[in-house]
Amino acid sequence: MIRKRRLGSVDHSKRHRLFAALFSMPIVLSVVGLFFVFEASYVRAFGEFGDGFHYFKAQALWIIIGIGIMVALSFLDYHKLYYVAFMMMLSTIGLLLLVLIPGVGSSANGARRWIGVGIAGFQPSEIAKLAAIIYLSSWFITRERKRFFSFLILLGVLMLLIILQPDMGTAVILFSLSVIIYFLAGNELHYLIGLIPLSGAFFFILAKASPYRFKRVLAFFDPSADPLGITYHINQIQISLSNGGLFGQGFGASKQKHLFLPEAHTDSIFAIIGEEIGFLGSVLLILLFLGLIYYIYRVANNAGDRFGKLLAGGIFVFFCVQTIVNLAAMVHLIPLTGVPLPFISYGGSNLTLCFTLMGIMLNIARSAKIS
């Protein structure tokens, strides 16, 4: 009896530490992100709005909203998501269609990705990531045969609607996310062998069909080809990171944030981080991400049922893929894509998505068999 009590207290202690880590690490990351959003944006914010704190205040508000969503979802039984999965996917497809309609979807920099709600706006493509995780996890609870082509049709519809915006970065992430969830479900895996090379050819054709996307691919192989044009962005990122060196220029000392680096407070924020806190500081930030991903993996590995395992597995894949894609683009391992760094980059849609996923993860952790 004493041994059982001791084992129970140990399990409870492990669960408590895991829950505390999953709750605190997103908040720590978002606070770090808030600081660097201000660092990277106050010059631009003052020029555009006459208020250097404009983006800081907006991001702070989204963090508060996101934490509230995370806390609320941590108490909502994740099994209830099964019953709303279909309607969520249907609504997401509807929103992806709406964003393409002039007058409904907002256009910026040649892309139509936002739907305005009052003075704010949101990206349906971010909702698509959440819908894909929940819907595919609920669909793949049972190991049905002959559903690969149904899965392919659904994935094709989502991909098409996102590419039409156009948003190639999100399309790549959604594709990776969906295919890996299919793999985790263990259904008809032999089909994936043929899908991977076909998808590679498909993305190449898409890049070739769009002069802008194809120039971005060429810029990846030769950053010096057009230093004032298509390669300007990646060259400015490399300047930021090289300026940072080992220890960084110091807080507030970034030169690239003075309107040299495009998207300094959003997709390219890691370049400003690297410039100000250097290689060692950047490694510490990456280690923080690795810690969060490790704890998510522990929950996914010990979830109490198949639905929980697939949900947690999908969330694990999302944070892995989105973080890797952003950082790999920053250090010139892959072509530049418009993918934000989770919890760090400015933007309410992605920040809310990240906190929503962590709220679901916290609820799964409540019933996980922690070892």
Give the integer Cα–Cα distance in Å for 193 and 69: 39
Q: Distance from first CA to last CA of the chain, Å, rounded?
A: 20
Which residue type is seen at 238? Q
Q: What value does the mean pLDDT of the chain take?
A: 85
Per-residue confidence (pLDDT) for residue 94, from 0 to 100:
92
Residues 275-314: pLDDT tens digits? 999 999 999 999 999 999 999 999 999 888 899 999 999 9
Residues 148-183: pLDDT tens digits? 888 889 998 998 888 888 778 888 899 889 988 988
| CA 259 from centre of chain | 25
What's the mean pLDDT in 19-41?
94
pLDDT-based confidence at 2, cuts 50/70/90? very low
pLDDT-based confidence at 199, cuts 50/70/90? confident
| Nearest partner of 170 among 161, 179, 182, 183, judged by Cα | 161
Give the integer Cα–Cα distance in Å for 308 and 327: 28
Q: Answer whether residue 128 shows pLDDT above 70.
A: yes
Place of tokens 């530490």: 17
Task: Between 289 and 117, name the one with better pLDDT.
Answer: 289
Reading the block at residue 35, the tokens are: 């600081």
pTM exceeding 0.85: yes
Extents of the domains making up the chain:
2-81+160-367
**Which residues are CB-contacts of 20 (< 8 A; sequence separation ≥ 6)?**
none
Q: Answer whether residue 3 shows pLDDT above 60.
A: no
Q: Answer whether residue 35 shows pLDDT above 60.
A: yes
Q: Answer whether residue 7 shows pLDDT above 50.
A: no
Give the integer Cα–Cα distance in Å for 368 and 184: 18
Residues 77-108: pLDDT tens digits? 999 999 999 999 999 999 898 888 877 766 66
Per-residue confidence (pLDDT) for residue 257, from 0 to 100:
83
pLDDT-based confidence at 9, cuts 50/70/90? low
